[in-house]
A and B are shown apart, each in its own frame.
Chain A
C-alpha cells in the first residue's frame, strides 16, 4: 500500500511544521480574471517560502463543465495513472480526461505528470451516499490505496495547481496566466521537517473547499483527536488538513454559516463574550463549550475558499499576519500589504483585522463584510 505518511512525514514527527506566505483575491461580481496578478503578488513574498512548495486554487475555472467534479490527479508512474483511470471509470461517469498542459522550466525538477478528469456521479453510483460524501470517500480511497497517485483537487468548476518549487515557478510551469477565475488563492511554503513533495504542497483541497494556512497550531494534538472521533483520519499530519476537515465538519455537516465557523476556530475570549448582549453571549458560550476541542490555538492565518466565498482570519491574538485590501468589488487578503499594493496601488481601503475576526468576501455582495 502506498504510504502517504511515509512520503510526507519521513521522520514520524507529531506533525509538519512550516511557515509561509499566502494571498487571496476575489471579484465579488463574479468577473473572471487571469492569474497574472496573483503570481506577481505571491512572487513579491518570495522570501517567506523556501522553494519546497507553492500552489494555487482557482474558482470559476471550468465553466464548460461547471456541474462535473473536476479531479486534478498527480501521478508518479504510468502504472498509477492506469490504475486510477480504471478506478475512476468504474466509480464515476467520465465526461472528459486530459493531460494538464505544462511548460518545462529549469526551476522545476523531476515533476510528476498531472491529469484532469471531469466526472459525474448519480445516485446509482453513489449507492445511498450523498454525491459529495461519495466523492470524499473515493478521493480518500485513491490517496490511501492506489500507488503513485494523489488527488490534488476534486471540486466542481475549480482546481488546485501545486508542486515543489517557489509559487511563481509553479505558476509558469502550469501556465497559470492562461487561466481565468473569479477567485484565486496562492501559497508559498517554508516547511521544516518534510522533504517537500508535490502532494504535500498547498492549497489543501477537499471537494470545492481549499485551505491555505500560515502558522503552527499548538492545539493540533486535540484538534486531530476530535476530528478522528468524527471520522476524519488525519493522514497528512499538517495543520492545513486539520483546518480543512474542521471546516468541512462545521459547514458542510453541521450547517453552520461561515461567520459562526470562524467563531469556533478562533473564538472570542470569555471576558469578551461576557460583554455581549445576552443572546449573542449564549450563542458564543455554547459554541465554545461544545466545540472547545476544535479551537485552533497558537499562531495562524488561514484563507479558506469555496464556491462564491473567500474567508480569511488569524488566531485570536494575531500571532501571524493578515492584511485586507478592498478596491471596488475586489477583495484582497495577504500576508503582507506590499504584495497587495504591488498589483493594486490605488486601494480604496487597507487594514489589519482584529485577531480572530473573519473577513468574508461573497459573490454577489458588493460590500465586503468585516
Chain B
C-alpha cells in the first residue's frame, strides 16, 4: 500500500466520521422542539456511498444530489457551518436560507443541483453530462438516487437517453432497502437494481455500499469509463437507512432484527476497524479524527445559531437572473 493510498484512506475515514458527527448532531437538535425547522432526512448508515463515490470524482465532475444530501455535500468538501446555517434557515446558509435541508446546492463545489423531487436527479444529470460532452470535457455527471426513485419514469427516460447519446453519467443508486415505509420487496420487483442497466446496454454493477474502499474502487473504474466516452454506467450501492426516513419516523414498521443486523455493519465503524487492523490508524489518531469532527460540528452549530435570519422581504430576491 503506497503512502498516497494510505493518506487517501485516512481522508476518507475523516470524512465518514464528519458526516456521521454532523448528522448525529442534527438528529439531536431535531429532537429539541423549535431548534430546526422542517423535516430532517439523514444519510446515517449510507456515508460510505457518498464518501467512496465522491472520492473517485475529479473537481471538474458534476454532482447531482437528492433529498438525502448531507453526506454528498460534506464529502465534496462543503463547509459544515454553511450547511448547518442553511438547515436552520439563516441568511449565512449556503443558499441564503432559500433551500433548507432538502435542496442544498453548492455549484462552487460542482454539486450543481439538488432536488427533493424523487427521480428528478437522473434527467438533470443527463443534461449536465450533455453540456460536458458538448464542451469536449473529460468529465462526468454523477447522480445519486434511491431504490425508490428507480421506480420513477424519469429515471428510465434519463438512462435511455444517456445510453443512446453515450452521455458521461454515473448513475449511483443508493439502495438502502426502503422507500418511505415500503421495503424493497414491496416497491421493487427485482432484488438487484443494477440489472436495469442491461435494458439500456450500459455497464451495471452492484457493490457493497457499506464498504468505502470497494465503493471507491468501483466508482473510480466506472467513472474512468464514463470520462473516456464509453457512455453512462450504473452503480448500485447496497446499504441501509439506519435512522428511518426522516427524524420524525420512529421506524415502527421496520423489523427490529433488521436494524440490529445492519447496525453491526455500520460503515463508519467498519472502516475505522479496518484501518486500525491494517496499522494505518492508531487509537490516538482515531481519537483525534473523532475529536476534530466533533469540534467542527460544534463550531458549525455555534456559527449557525448566532447567524441572523434573512429579512422577510428578501424572500422576493433570487428568483430571476
Pair from one complex = no
List B residues at the A interface (Cβ < 8 Å).
none
List A residues at the B interface (Cβ < 8 Å).
none
